[in-house]
Chain A
């Protein structure tokens, strides 16, 4: 044994290490493969040894060989061995090798689960780190499932080095095991605010990747990201966040509005080009998502375009490239702003860098107009001539065609010009896009009737000079054009000047060198031409000409009859026989032209490419059903009938059978053709469809005579497109002159008749008349075509599985908690068992298959559950609706008998209501965040803002999808919409008001006291499904026979941003409702300031002056105004006395009235719901700065989560953590007091321990909480 060890180590001295291997390979340049194969043999020997160091060395070498392209999967097991070494050195080598060559189908991966788990929990942070890095490369669904929990734990590791790796790898885990997303998400979100910037950056990275694929699920994180964006200084993080916002804005236009300002600031302030560029990009995305026409946004566009221009003008090619890239995004929505930089973009076309030229080309697409199309294309044609590389030239060619054909040839005024451009393009050498040009020619010739004469003439010349196109082997691609030329000449042969010549050109022996499908078209169209010629010649007395033509056909066609291409052969022999027969008839002087023409009669109409798809399936037709009984297995013994039904050709079938098949197939083809011919919906294979032509087999073998061309190709007799540019200009000039003349005439007439008329302005787009009347035939669609085709997403996208709603996962209690099945699997013994017997492959495999089975069944269950959940949800919704009806009825009852005494809301209703309330809170948080504009300096503005935004908010909260709803720009809002909105709101409010009034009678005043009851009532009355829009949190302030005032819970509308800057402002929204039939005007709102709280008045007014309410109220109308109060101290509740004075105006009289009210500011209203994370919370509690206090509530008979939800909603707390019947909650006052609660429940007793740095405030808040619960 000892000897063996010594022997092993001596051997090892002579082992090659990686460096030796590399050196060896470099020294064996000639026989590298041989050398490496001997090395691999050595490695195999080394791997057989017991010494782990030797193994590691071997694995290290294998990793290098893998990079060189050698398959090393055979050593997978050895890699696992090295991975499980206790030494970091070897472990690292093992994990590196694994990360390079393991993948999902590597079977030994199953064996690694426990090893990895061990490494993850290793006390050495680098063991963990190496394991995480390796795992990130080869994680499989099984590994992800088994290790998700361990990685989750690592996310809270003490070392930031591990934390950031664990956070990052979670993305890979989510991808492989989507079920882990929901349980892991809260912690991931928490990491967004990790103290370590690296961890924070990793979390941002992961969420950005997640959100990029399913942005709508992450909308609710927008406020958090916004905060990060305004606070972070790490450019990497900023870039990621800004990119993320770019993905979110299309879903939520209001977000865009909020973003514009900080982004613009960043654009102005940052010196980092990368950040600047991403900001510009996101601003563009925002602008795209917003409806255009907002005046302040044109400035943003201008800013973007300006900055981009700077980038494009930069000497750094990278910036230039990116500038153009971003510019093309603006182009889609704001073409006008880009068009002004046409000069710059045209300049970029001349850039030496191909990437930049390509980008510039992209931009050009959007810059053309009727006016400048010819000019731009002319310039591009110059580039085509100059371009050296074929790829760029091909790109140019496609761009020219794209530009010209865009939106149904919208910008082409002269189709003769276009045809000649196409003809010119055929002279390009070695282009791949012959078929593109061909299809354009066909398209134009078919759809623009007026151009046919010209097109036919051009095509005839092309055919005549076909040898120039086909001569060079390199030019094979371009001969596709002949396909189009031949077809056009044949189909529209009546327009030909000299059909005989063209016919002769089409039947030249040279044609036989063309690809088969083109020959076939030649033959077929020769027949068409023949028919036309016959017709024209039959009128003549001399029949020799006609007979000569027939003779020509008979002479030339046999060449095609011998063609190797079946299609050509078939057509040629058919037509040959036909012509022979015709010749016979001609000799008998029979007039047959009409009959021959009839062969090709009928107009061809273009059919929309989607037409076939849009044909609706007739009722009762099941396309999947068998027409005949499926053939049974026994029917065929030696032949496999399936091969016919399968798509692939039965290549292996013996020739004996193929003959039979051929006949069979021919028969079927015949039948099918017959059927197709009778079916009006079948698109006959018209050449206009852009099909990909198949190269005929054997074309390569046809000898091709090469013509050496030293002079540039120029097809003689073809007009140059350039001349059209001149002609066009002349024509326009003439047109203009004529128009002027006419106008002058008109003016003269008019002057004599009516007098003055306006001058004609400068020539605009519409003034350019097309050269000839272009009749663009629209494409045919089947009748009752199905509307709008749905784009199908790739069903294999792994991100589809990650489309998981995460909103109701936030830390608020009462949301849908994680179901047991959703919790991450905790370590089990299953994997350990597998590891115990690694040698027994069979066992391991069966374990694998079992596991996969288990997994799939589990997945199924999951799905089922999801469905069930959905069903339940919809049921609940229905229930809610029913309830709504009920309470609406109740509301009516109340209307009828207002004095009927208390109508208690049933317990049931309130309970149901409490939960959805909290679910909406998150949504409404976002809404508040989005809808709140920065606190306007004067209240007038505030009022209008509030009014304008109230509507979208309530609509949104009430269940309409946020992305489907266009957000009305508040600035441009017209008076009408405003008033109608108010009416709507008023109706709703009225209802609520009635309920509330009722309540008032029982719970006297104090707007907090009617907590739960009020909620449920509102729940019932709101028209839409989602309960309780946050705006409805109003309570009655005062009312008399004329007017009613309702105050909103002050803090709720408070702008959080404003508070952060100035912690002493509270905004109060008051709704004024006119209850009488008279007009109310000159309303003045005044409050008696106390020492502590003051109403903010416009500058220059005295401390006792009232504030004018910035609107008047017609009868029955309500409106909302906001008032800003400044608070000195917020630790005590405040009461302010106030008066509203107003003038009631009737037709005959006007009276001065006044209404007194009391404004009540509770301490709760100074609290802002602020999310807090458990670690921060713990730190806060540990800090010892907080004073303690507690309160006990007795007889609370509601579920714990309802209780929490109520505290959250009524008192603006958020749940930090909840464990069973115990929860910690947090809130912050506007002056940055921290308030922490620990809520415990046992039986009907709820004890609340509270901590706050301000004991008075705490006492008051607790009192208020107590009051809330004493009411229910």
Chain B
């Protein structure tokens, strides 16, 4: 079982938090802080597994994380999950984000956390891995987005206005994105191609 999925940046700012077990909001924040503290002090070239989160888990639980440029992707899992499998799942997740957002960067996650949630929901459900095939995930996400769009078009003309504001917002983020090129988190920049291949455990 996956107990929690956290994404935060190099400063510990949460970009996405998904807990598959209920915690109080304060405790959730504590967990994020603690996890950030544990993960951020580790070197780049050490292993991606970590034991010893006090608040979340216990002896049976592990933190499995990957660091992409400015973002940490952390999965808290118990012993029924394969460590290397989860590492690959993180990779799939990031690659899916990359496809859905077209060259994803941290700002995409900042402004569209709801979309990230929707993508994640197609991969992991209630703490269990639902789908690992990237194409399948993207198909389902796209189909749902298409439905959403068709619904927006059907509603009152006022919504066009709303939509244009929404799109303006996106253009805006795009500008941010270009200005902050270093934020790109696609794995290709993080590692040389050969290296990325290596992490592909199957």
User: Which residue from B113, B127, B136 sits with its C-beta under 8 Å from A67?
Assistant: B113
User: What's the Cα separation between A1176 and B71 when bound, in Å?
Assistant: 47
Minimum distance in angstroms from A1145 CB to a CB of chain B? 62
User: What's the Cα separation between A9 and B156 when bound, in Å?
Assistant: 10
A277 touches B128 (CB 8 A): no
User: What's the Cα separation between A64 and B117 when bound, in Å?
Assistant: 11
Enumerate chain B residues within 8 angstroms of A271, measured Cβ to Cβ.
202
B25 touches A66 (CB 8 A): yes
A236 touches B147 (CB 8 A): no
Q: Which residue of A lies closest to B18 (CB)?
A: A100
User: What's the Cα separation between A243 and B143 when bound, in Å?
Assistant: 34
Contact with B along A300-339 (1 / 0, CB 8 A): 0000000000000000111011100000000000000000
The segment from B94-102, B162-170, B179-187 that touches chain A is B162-170
A206 touches B47 (CB 8 A): no
User: What's the Cα separation between A225 and B22 when bound, in Å?
Assistant: 33
Contact with A along B1-14 (1 / 0, CB 8 A): 10000000000001
B121 proximal to A (CB < 8 A): yes
A205 touches B129 (CB 8 A): yes
Enumerate chain A residues within 8 angstroms of B111, measured Cβ to Cβ.
18-19, 22-23
A110-133 contacts to B, CB under 8 A, are: 124, 126, 129-130, 132-133
Minimum distance in angstroms from A308 CB to a CB of chain B? 14
A208 touches B80 (CB 8 A): yes
Enumerate chain B residues within 8 angstroms of A63, measured Cβ to Cβ.
113-114, 117
Q: Which residue of B lies closest to A104 (CB)?
A: B22
User: Which residue from B16, B22, B46, B198 sits with its C-beta under 8 Å from A355?
Assistant: B46
Interface residues on B, range: 35 or more
User: What's the Cα separation between A235 and B89 when bound, in Å?
Assistant: 12
User: Which residue from A64, A71, A89 sits with its C-beta under 8 Å from B148?
Assistant: A89
A548 proximal to B (CB < 8 A): no
B59 proximal to A (CB < 8 A): no
Q: Which residue of B lies closest to A175 (CB)?
A: B126
A1244 proximal to B (CB < 8 A): no
A53 touches B84 (CB 8 A): no
Q: With A66-B25, A316-B198 given, is the CB distance from A164 to B130 under 8 Å?
A: yes
B114 touches A356 (CB 8 A): no
A272 touches B202 (CB 8 A): yes
Q: Which residue of B lies closest to A161 (CB)?
A: B140
User: Which residue from A13, A169, A274 sits with its C-beta under 8 Å from B88?
Assistant: A274
User: Which residue from A22, A53, A354 sits with its C-beta under 8 Å from B159?
Assistant: A53
B103 proximal to A (CB < 8 A): no
A471 proximal to B (CB < 8 A): no
B47 touches A320 (CB 8 A): yes
A1175 proximal to B (CB < 8 A): no
A71 touches B25 (CB 8 A): yes
User: Which residue from B48, B144, B152 sits with its C-beta under 8 Å from A318?
Assistant: B48
Minimum distance in angstroms from B34 CB to a CB of chain A? 14
User: What's the Cα separation between A274 and B202 when bound, in Å?
Assistant: 7
User: What's the Cα separation between A72 and B100 when bound, in Å?
Assistant: 29
Q: Which residue of B lies closest to A9 (CB)?
A: B158
A570-591 contacts to B, CB under 8 A, are: none
Minimum distance in angstroms from A277 CB to a CB of chain B? 6
B114 touches A317 (CB 8 A): no
Interface residues on A, range: 35 or more
B169 touches A318 (CB 8 A): no
B88 touches A165 (CB 8 A): no
B158 touches A12 (CB 8 A): yes
Contact with B along A136-160 (1 / 0, CB 8 A): 1101000000000000000000000
A998 proximal to B (CB < 8 A): no
Q: With A9-B156, A318-B83, A318-B84 given, is the CB distance from A17 to B166 under 8 Å?
A: yes
Q: With A168-B130, A198-B136, A239-B85 given, is the CB distance from A69 to B25 under 8 Å?
A: yes
A1002 proximal to B (CB < 8 A): no
Q: Which residue of B lies closest to A137 (CB)?
A: B126
Question: Which of the listed residues A69, A87, A271, A353 has the most CB atoms from chain B within 10 Å of its own CB?
Answer: A69
A286 proximal to B (CB < 8 A): no
A88 touches B151 (CB 8 A): yes
User: What's the Cα separation between A318 and B22 when bound, in Å?
Assistant: 30
Contact with A along B68-88 (1 / 0, CB 8 A): 000000000000101111011
B130 touches A236 (CB 8 A): no
Enumerate chain A residues within 8 angstroms of B51, measured Cβ to Cβ.
355, 358
Enumerate chain B residues within 8 angstroms of A274, measured Cβ to Cβ.
82-85, 88, 201-202
Enumerate chain B residues within 8 angstroms of A132, measured Cβ to Cβ.
125
B83 touches A275 (CB 8 A): no
Minimum distance in angstroms from B95 CB to a CB of chain A? 16
Q: With A126-B147, A274-B201, A277-B82 given, is the CB distance from A20 to B125 under 8 Å?
A: no
A321 touches B47 (CB 8 A): yes
Enumerate chain A residues within 8 angstroms of B46, measured Cβ to Cβ.
317, 352-356
User: Which residue from B47, B144, B162, B201 sits with its C-beta under 8 Å from A12?
Assistant: B162
Enumerate chain A residues within 8 angstroms of B152, measured Cβ to Cβ.
89
A321 touches B126 (CB 8 A): no
A212 proximal to B (CB < 8 A): yes
Q: Which residue of B lies closest to A274 (CB)?
A: B84
Minimum distance in angstroms from B77 CB to a CB of chain A? 12
Minimum distance in angstroms from B6 CB to a CB of chain A? 10
User: What's the Cα separation between A273 and B83 when bound, in Å?
Assistant: 11
User: What's the Cα separation between A212 and B131 when bound, in Å?
Assistant: 21
B85 touches A17 (CB 8 A): no
Enumerate chain B residues within 8 angstroms of A22, measured Cβ to Cβ.
110-111
User: What's the Cα separation between A20 and B162 when bound, in Å?
Assistant: 13
Enumerate chain A residues within 8 angstroms of B22, measured Cβ to Cβ.
103-104
Contact with B along A766-809 (1 / 0, CB 8 A): 00000000000000000000000000000000000000000000
Minimum distance in angstroms from B115 CB to a CB of chain A? 10
Enumerate chain B residues within 8 angstroms of A172, measured Cβ to Cβ.
126
A318 touches B47 (CB 8 A): yes
B43 touches A353 (CB 8 A): yes
B43 touches A168 (CB 8 A): no
Enumerate chain A residues within 8 angstroms of B159, measured Cβ to Cβ.
53
Contact with B along A869-888 (1 / 0, CB 8 A): 00000000000000000000
B113 touches A20 (CB 8 A): no
Q: Which residue of A lies closest to B117 (CB)?
A: A96
B140 touches A355 (CB 8 A): no
A19 touches B173 (CB 8 A): yes
B114 touches A136 (CB 8 A): no
Minimum distance in angstroms from A108 CB to a CB of chain B? 15
User: What's the Cα separation between A139 and B110 when bound, in Å?
Assistant: 29
Q: Which residue of B lies closest to A136 (CB)?
A: B126
Enumerate chain A residues within 8 angstroms of B40, measured Cβ to Cβ.
none
User: What's the Cα separation between A243 and B77 when bound, in Å?
Assistant: 15
User: Which residue from B29, B114, B172, B202 sits with its C-beta under 8 Å from A69?
Assistant: B29
B130 touches A165 (CB 8 A): yes
Q: With A17-B165, A236-B132 given, is the CB distance from A243 to B126 under 8 Å?
A: no
Enumerate chain A residues within 8 angstroms of B198, measured Cβ to Cβ.
316
A-B contact pairs, 22 of them (CB 8 A): A19-B170, A22-B111, A69-B25, A92-B144, A104-B22, A124-B147, A130-B121, A136-B125, A136-B127, A168-B130, A169-B126, A198-B131, A202-B128, A209-B128, A271-B202, A272-B202, A273-B202, A317-B45, A318-B49, A353-B46, A355-B47, A356-B46
Known: A274-B84, A317-B46. 11 other contacts (CB 8 A): A17-B169, A18-B113, A22-B110, A53-B159, A69-B26, A69-B28, A87-B151, A96-B118, A171-B126, A239-B82, A274-B202
**Chain A residues within 8 Å of B, Cβ to Cβ:** 9, 12-13, 17-20, 22-23, 26, 53, 60, 63-64, 66-71, 87-89, 92-93, 96, 100, 103-104, 124, 126, 129-130, 132-133, 136-137, 139, 161, 164-165, 168-169, 171-172, 198, 201-202, 205-206, 208-209, 212, 235-236, 239, 243, 271-275, 277-278, 316-318, 320-322, 352-356, 358
**Chain B residues within 8 Å of A, Cβ to Cβ:** 1, 14, 16-18, 20, 22, 25-26, 28-29, 42-43, 45-51, 80, 82-85, 87-88, 110-114, 117-118, 121, 125-133, 136, 140, 143-144, 147-148, 151-152, 155-156, 158-159, 161-162, 165-166, 169-170, 172-173, 198, 201-202
Nearest 5 interchain pairs by C-beta: A136-B126, A274-B84, A272-B202, A317-B47, A103-B22
